[in-house]
Each structure stands twice: as structure tokens, then as C-alpha cells.
Amino acid sequence: MKAPISTLPLVGPKYVQKLAKLDIKTLEDLLYHIPFRYQDFSEISKIGSFPIGETATIKGEILEFKNEYTRQGRKIQSASIYDGTGKITAVWFNQPFLARVLPPGTKLSLSGKLQWWKKQKAIYSPEYEVVTESSETIHTGRLVPVYPATAGISPKWIRSRISALLKLLPKENLNDYLPKNLNFMNLWEAVQSVHFPKSLEEAETARKRLAFDELLFIQLLNLHKKSLWQKNEPTHKLTIDKDKLQQFFHLLPFTLTSSQLRSINEILNDLSGDKPMNRLLEGDVGSGKTIVAAISAYIVYLNGFKSAIMAPTQILAQQHFETLTEIFKKTDLKVSLAGEGDIIVGTHALIHKNVKLRDVALVVIDEQHKFGVEQRTHLIHKSKKGNIAPHVLTMTATPIPRTIALTLYGELELSTLDELPKGRKKVTTWIVPPAKRNPAYAWLKDQISNFKNQIFIVCPLIEESESETLANAKAATIEFEKLKIIFKDFRIGLLHGRMKVEEKNRVLDEFRSGKIDILVTTPVVEVGVDIPNANIMLIESADRFGLASLHQLRGRIGRGDKKAYCLLFTENSNNKVLARLSALKENNSGFRLAEIDLGLRGPGEVLGTRQHGETNLKIASWQDIDLIKLSKTIALQAVANPSQFAKLHKAFAEKLISVN
């Protein structure tokens, strides 16, 4: 099972490279590369009774094969097939090699829809395979699995290699390790049935079994990581001076919310414990995660030690530096930007540059989903010695439904900020169709002229794309030039991710100081940009973003005293798209929007782009809530009762070796 994929017949070096793009490197990877749908070719028909418009499978012998050319130069291949009840023509396009591999006399099984071609009954581009009297079909005459594929590898090729693997695989390689009382399909049967099921019900039963296994191993891995972390001791022992903490609270110009106070108490319990903290702080946009992290760092400062805060971008690091400097201006605590200080703020430069992290008792990792696992681990290990580790607080403003968060980050304790500080204004959100673009521009001009408002205009791309799927997506550089004409009486700036750090900071400083009226930008402003007077955001090609991203972007406004507005521009009139955008119009809770997006578009939009080393489900879905809950229960039982789950522990140990 752990053998390289190259050990399978007909998988040479070129295929090895192509399969790697599908994360298939071993025989086990191929075995668990399951279909995403099935084509129903199970209806077997005789040519004489095969009705026009129906999809079915026929079996017959090739009487004649022709290569033809149209006037436009297209190559057409046609085969005359006979089964004793009648003739039918099979038609393919631009596959001249078929004349060589399918000579007259060849017996075929073909699946497809019956249509007309040159006034004759024909099947266009049918699935086909050569058959004998005793051979079993895998591409026709059954429920045919369709697999995720890549350039140079077709679903048909993958299907043939999986069929070969299943025939070569000894049954003892898939001995079951789950107790029978869980009532799942046997592992061997599940693997066979998920690839070549007799019915869709059987396929779903098999998928459910394999999905449970995948989730169960994630839960066990999380518990394993948690147990390893708990073997560490804190880098520095910390005590909580509640009197000084209360004095600091009184210095703040705002009152902490109940969820902030709850999260702070959870963190303080961790910091004063005999095990290093490993906690995830999950909060909606604007819920006040930074002050919670600041108070954690202040406790560390009172104990005479340092904290390191890592942000994914220079913009966010600069924002944290300025915010923390303001928070601690009435104290002696020193905040530095990737230098010496009581709180050291920076990007991944904290890892790669020679920043001294001695005496660091707390590591804070912001927007943790934007970092790869290796980056986070590197930073922690830089301030770790042996079995002594710093306290770690990771933060995310991407709201994730709790059940999923506890599965994704099960090795972490979870704190949630589920309310906004007093004074944060609700952002009024409008969906703007093409017909209302010009009136919207007129309204924006009025907002700048008469109310001195500043505006973000966000585009999904930096430059125009030649990709057909991105043909209607707006590009910041192109829109910038257009808007300079449309808003010729106003000051317009441009900001995107390819600009140098100094240039980005200059543009943001000009926007912050009111020297720019309209900032045309990309989602680079999604996190870390705080401009209180910028109370209007126009998002171009809004249908190109997930609800989580749109909510994050919208969170950049409504931070000042003025009424805030978010305009969602879209040229897409699809009802599902409009329903999704309407959810943003009607909801201001990021957690609620995450649940809606999970149902409408799946987990990709909720969890963001996959990072190297992050949990990536191949079989299960984050919508399998019942399976997720059951997998957590069984994982906990397995840890508590090793002898009862001995087979499972052995299978997990083997899996752990392959992961490491």
C-alpha cells in the first residue's frame, strides 16, 4: 500500500509526474482517489430496440472503420457496429489512432446517447472497450466512476489503473480495524464498492465508510499532536497580577465585551498553568481579537518576558504595530517592528531573519490560515528548547462553524469572540446590477463632494486575465485608468500586492491622511487596513468572491462615526449567485455567513485556499456533520481504551509513519 505508484503496471515516469499533481504518489493514494460522480451506463440494449435520445450500452462487432475529413478540416472517425439485431454508427472526433486499435472484427462494448448522424442511428463520442465473452467491463455497461483528473491523464486511464490495482491488492492489506457495532460497511467491501458499485446507494454507503475513516484519522492525529504538546513545559513560568491587569483595563478608552472577557479568562488560565498554551482565538471581523492578544502580551510583560506577534503581510504587521503602540502608550511597554522590544511584531521575517527570540514567553500568530504549517512550526521552534515551549495563541478572523473548527484544529483549545464591541455600526449592503452602475457612480461623487467620505474600490485581479473563466473579472490596474476619467475631479490611488512595501505604505498613508479620495485596490486590504474615514466600499465582480472574503472586505469599513455602505457590483444574473450575495445583504454575522457559504458553495469558501500541510479532505465533506461528531467520539474512546481499539491504534500508527 505504501509502495510508490510507479510499481503499478503501465505507470511510467511521465505518469508519475502527472499523478503527483493529483497528490497521488503511492498505491494507497490511488486507492483512495475516489470518484466525484458516476455515469449510469447500466442499461444494456440491443441495437434494434435502442430508442433515439436514450443513454444505454450496446455490444457488437465492428464491420467497417473509416477516417473522414470535413470541409473545415476536422477529422472524423466512424465505425459500423452490428449485434445481430441491427447496425449502428459510432462517431468520434480527432482520434485517428482509433482506426489502428479498433480494426474490423473487434468486439466492443459502447455506452452513450443514441442520436442521428447522416440520417443514420449513431452514438457520438461513446465510451468504449474491447470485450470478450468472459471479460468484465469497467468503462461501459455499469455505473461508471468518473475521477478528478489532470492534463495528460483522463478519468478512463485512472479507472483502468484502479481496476488493475484492485485485482492485484491482497485482501489482507485491508483488514478492518473498526468495531463491528459501528455498523459501517467492511473496509475491503467499501474500497471495492466506492470504485465499482452496483448501485448509487451502495456507492454512498461505501463513501460514508471511507469518509468516516478519513475523519477518524484526523481526530486521532489531533489528539496525538495535543498529547505531544502537553509533554512540554512552558518556556517561562507566569503569574497573573490581577490588580495591575485591572489598572490596565481602566486605561483603555473602551469597555471590553463579555466574549472578550471570557476569552481573556480562558487565556489567563492557560498562561498560569503548568503546560504551554496552544489556543485558537476565532473572532468575527472587528470583534476585537487584537486587544485580547495585547492583554495576553501585557501579562507576559508584567512577568519580565517578551512576546512575538507574526502577521501574514507587511500591511497587517504595520497595522498591529501602530495599534499596539496606541494601546500601550500610557505604559512603559515597548512595541517594536521586527526589532528589540517587549512585543516584537513582524511577518515571516521573524522566522528567516536574525530576530532574537530569546526570553519569548508568548508567540501570537495572526490570520493563522494564511500561513503554512511549516512556517508556524518554524517560528515556534525558533523560541523552543527541548521539551520547553512558549505559549502559543493563534488567531483567525475567518469564522468557521464550531464543529469544523474543532476538527480542523482539534489539537488547539478554542476561544470564540461572537459579538462586536459597542459603537461598531452595521454596514448597509446593496447589490448593484449593470443598469445601476452610472447612478452608483453619481452617488459616490456626491458622497465625496458633500460628505467628505473616502471610498475603497476592490477588484479581484491585479491585471486583466486571458483566462476564459476570468473574462468578466475586473482588474485593479485597468479599472484605475478608467476611474481616473470617470472621477476626474477627485484624487485616486492604486494599491495591490505586487507593489513594493514602501510604495504600499506611502499609498496607505496618503489615504489615511485624506490625500486620496478613492483607493482602487485588490483583496490585499482584506485584513489589517484600518481607515476610520473610509466608510464606503465598492466591490467589483462580487460574485467572484466567497461570502467569507466579502465579509472580511466589508469589515474594513464602518470603523468610524459615519454611516457605512458596501456596494456589491455584479454582472452575473444567476439566481443562485444573487441568493448568495443577498445573504451578505441580510446578515452581518460572519459565523452565520460561514454556515450559509458552507451549504451553498462547500468548504472551500469557508476555509480559504489550501495551505501546504493543512488538512485537506479527499473523501469526506465538511458537511458530514454527523460523521464528524461520531469520529470525535470514537477517537476519544480509542484513546481511553487502547486494548479495545488495538487494531485501530495499529492502523493509525502506520498512517502516522506515512504522515511524518
pLDDT digits (tens, 9 = 90+) for 527-580: 667 888 999 999 999 999 888 889 989 989 988 889 999 999 999 999 989 999
Does residue 640 register a pLDDT over 70?
yes
Does residue 117 register a pLDDT over 90?
no
Q: What is the band of 612 on the pLDDT scale with cuts at 50, 70, 90?
A: very low
What is the structure's pLDDT at 316?
85
Burial profile 556-589: b = 16 or more Cβ within 10 angstroms, e = fewer:
bbbbbebebbbbbbbeeeeeebbebbebbeebbe
What is the structure's pLDDT at 610?
37
Give 240-261 pLDDT, tens digit per residue. Answer: 999 999 999 999 999 999 999 9
Does residue 50 register a pLDDT over 50?
yes
Reading across the β-sheet that carries 492-495, which strands appear in turn? 428-432, 565-569, 534-539, 454-458, 518-521, 492-495
CATH 3.40.50.300 assigned to domain 233-417? The reply is yes
Backbone phi, then psi, for 363, in 5-degree steps? -115, 125
What is the structure's pLDDT at 548?
82
In degrees, rounded to 5, the angle at the alpha carbon of residue 597 between the alpha carbons of residues 559 and 475 is 65
Q: How far is CA 307 from the centre of its chain?
A: 30
Q: What is the band of 320 on the pLDDT scale with cuts at 50, 70, 90?
A: very high
For every residue of 90-155, DSSP letters joined together read EEEES-TTHHHHS-TT-EEEEEEEEEEETTEEEEES-EEEE--SSPPPSSSSSEEEE---BTTB-H
> How far is the C-alpha of 297 from the C-alpha of 364, rounded, in Å?
9
CB 570 within 8 A of CB 431: yes
Does residue 222 register a pLDDT over 80?
yes
Does residue 233 register a pLDDT over 90?
yes
What is the structure's pLDDT at 530?
80
> How far is the C-alpha of 197 from the C-alpha of 37, rounded, in Å?
12
What is the structure's pLDDT at 465?
59
What is the structure's pLDDT at 623?
82
pLDDT greater at residue 358 or residue 52: 52
Give 440-491 pLDDT, tens digit per residue. Answer: 999 999 999 999 999 999 999 987 655 545 556 789 999 999 999 999 999 9
CB 636 within 8 A of CB 217: no
Query: What is the residue-averaged pLDDT of the chain?
Result: 89
What is the structure's pLDDT at 83?
95
Q: Which residues of the chain form CATH 3.40.50.300?
A: 233-417, 428-587
Q: 169 Cβ partners below 8 Å, 6+ apart?
A: 27, 31
Q: What is the band of 525 on the pLDDT scale with cuts at 50, 70, 90?
A: confident
pLDDT greater at residue 369 or residue 595: 595
Q: Which residues of the chain form CATH 2.40.50.140?
A: 43-141
Give 278-309 pLDDT, tens digit per residue. Answer: 999 999 888 899 999 999 999 999 999 999 99
What is the structure's pLDDT at 609?
37
- Residue range 428-587, CATH number: 3.40.50.300
Q: CA torsion sign, 435 to 437 to 438 to 442? A: positive
What is the structure's pLDDT at 347?
87
pLDDT greater at residue 588 or residue 16: 16
**Domain 43-141's class?**
mainly beta
Helices (DSSP H) in 385-487: which residue ranges? 402-408, 437-451, 476-486
> How far is the C-alpha of 382 from the C-alpha of 310, rounded, in Å?
13
Query: Model's pTM, two decimal places?
Result: 0.83
> How far is the C-alpha of 441 from the C-alpha of 449, rounded, in Å?
12
The Cβ-side half-sphere exposure at 525, using a 13 Å CA radius, reads 34
- Most confident of the following: 212-221, 354-363, 500-509: 212-221
> How far is the C-alpha of 170 from the C-alpha of 167, rounded, in Å?
8
What is the structure's pLDDT at 422?
77
Q: What is the mean pLDDT of residues 310-329?
A: 90
What is the structure's pLDDT at 614?
44
For every residue of 13-39, DSSP letters joined together read HHHHHHHHTTT--BHHHHHT---SEEE
pLDDT greater at residue 472 or residue 114: 114
